[in-house]
């Protein structure tokens, strides 16, 4: 991990971010649910709809966190972490912790009151990771509600 660099992702790294998102979807048994194309990613990135961090090991993207800013009517400005994935071959090396630390720094620098994300109830490894953070709060009172338009 001596060569690990955590930095903001750029447009040219979007295919690697999408590759990792697809890897995450496969882990979640939802491979067919990823319908966004690289063109969708590029357009959304160009429109400033999201930002992302990449973990680079010797220049190769081995992890990503895709996030965007939003508003909590109860707390104020917040960050929503949409996807957090470390390449399957690179897990358990501390990369996830480095990404999470950087994400928290970015949120603080941007005056966010909180960071919010989801974890599947069966993802024991993810849950343990978040528990070890020491400051993550699991809110099991709220249910996700979605309306798919297309």
CB-count burial class (<10 Å; 0-12, 13-18, 19+) for 9: buried
Distance CA 118, CA 80 (A): 9
Query: 41, 52, 130, 148: which one is catalytic?
Result: 130
**CB–CB of 61/13 below 8 Å?**
yes
Task: Give the sheet arrangement for strand 60-72, strand by strand.
Answer: 4-8, 51-57, 60-72, 76-86, 114-116
Whether 130 is a known active-site residue: answer: yes
Active site residues: 130
């Amino acid at each position: 991990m001596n060569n690990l660099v955590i930095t903001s992702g750029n447009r040219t790294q979007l295919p690697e971010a999408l590759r990792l998102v697809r890897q995450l979807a496969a882990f979640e048994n939802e491979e067919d649910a990823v319908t966004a194309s690289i063109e969708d990613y590029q357009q959304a990135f160009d429109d400033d709809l999201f930002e992302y961090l990449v973990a680079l090991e010797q220049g190769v993207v081995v992890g990503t966190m895709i996030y965007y800013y939003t508003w909590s009517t109860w707390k104020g400005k917040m960050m929503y972490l949409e996807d957090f994935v470390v390449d399957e071959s690179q897990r358990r090396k501390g990369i996830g912790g480095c990404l999470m630390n950087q994400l928290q720094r970015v949120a603080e620098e941007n005056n966010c009151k909180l960071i919010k994300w989801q974890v599947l109830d069966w993802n024991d490894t993810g849950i343990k990771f978040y528990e070890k953070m020491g400051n993550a709060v699991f809110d099991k009172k709220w249910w996700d509600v979605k309306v798919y338009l297309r």
